[in-house]
Chain A
Amino acid sequence: SQTIHQWPATLVQPVGSPLSLECTVEGTSNPNLYWYRQAAGRGLQLLFYSVGIGQISSEVPQNLSASRPQDRQFILSSKKLLLSDSGFYLCAWIASASTDTQYFGPGTRLTVL
């Protein structure tokens, strides 16, 4: 069966510090991978998606970036965090077929102080 992992689970970082969040998927090959952010009391905002190694598409302009160094690894990064980067970051995956369901990882709660 497929499993998706995210770490860390929670993170408190000062403004201006760097960020690296990791997501890995087990039990599947060549998944589509997604990064979402959910601010407090708000819906999910799609940040990045990837259809393969090294292929990243950005949905919104921001100071975040994403990378996919391996088939089942998706990384979200920032060089300098802003207060507005606080939120719940969720990684999601689907198999490549268009009818598949999107499943979410457990999430990382980021607080920028």
Chain B
Amino acid sequence: GQNIDQPTEMTATEGAIVQINCTYQTSGFNGLFWYQQHAGEAPTFLSYNVLDGLEEKGRFSSFLSRSKGYSYLLLKELQMKDSASYLCAVRVTMIYNQGGKLIFGQGTELSVKP
């Protein structure tokens, strides 16, 4: 079956660094996505990894290890506006759907405190 795990909640301090982990067990892996979702809003795309290693985008970085079925999202210089839910999603390939489909974890609710 397909399974994606991430912590339910995390708390961090403004200005600090936080790492949100995601482990997955899926078949047909074709990339891992991280989305940010503020309360009451749609998810917005943050990062995408398909090869092992670190992808950096400003204050946000994402790491992938395919052999370990593991990814993390690193947020630096935390700001209050970073308080949100962070969703890890794995794309799996499909025979008649070249775009595949995303399987989402339950999301990690991050609270940034002053």
How many whole Å from A5's CB to the nearest CB in chain B? Answer: 12
Q: Judging by beta carbons under 8 Å apart, are B99 and A32 in contact?
A: yes
Category for how many chain B residues contact A? 20 to 34
- Assuming the A-B contacts A51-B96, A51-B99, are A101 and B106 also in contact, with contact meaning beta carbons closer than 8 angstroms in the complex? no
Q: Give the shortest distance, in Å, between B107 (CB) and chain A (any CB).
A: 6
Bound-state CA distance A105–B44 (Å) is: 9
CB atoms of A51 and B97 under 8 A apart: yes
* Contact digits for B71-113, partner A, Cβ 8 Å, 1 yes 0 no: 0000000000000000101010100111111111111000000
- Is there contact, CB below 8 Å, between B100 and A103? no
- A72 vs B66: C-alpha distance in the bound complex, in angstroms? 34
B41 CB to nearest A CB, Å: 7
Main secondary structure of the interface of B (DSSP, over half): strand
In the bound complex, how far is the Cα of B35 from the Cα of A107, in angstroms? 15
Cβ of B7: which chain A residues have Cβ within 8 Å of it?
Answer: none
Docked Cα-Cα span, A87 to B82, in Å, equals 24
Bound: A51/B95 CA distance, A:
11
Whether B43 pairs with A57 at a CB distance below 8 angstroms is no
Determine the chain B residues whose CB is within 8 A of the CB of A101 once the complex forms. 33, 45, 48
On whether the beta carbons of A44 and B93 are closer than 8 Å, the reply is no
Assuming A46-B103, A98-B30, A98-B100, what are 7 further A-B pairs, CB within 8 angstroms?
A: A44-B89, A46-B102, A51-B99, A59-B101, A98-B99, A102-B102, A106-B41
Please list 20 pairs of residues, one from A and one from B, whose beta carbons are closer than 8 Å in the complex, sorted by A's number: A32-B97, A32-B98, A34-B102, A43-B87, A43-B105, A44-B43, A44-B89, A46-B101, A46-B102, A51-B96, A51-B98, A90-B42, A96-B98, A96-B99, A98-B98, A100-B99, A102-B33, A103-B45, A104-B44, A107-B42
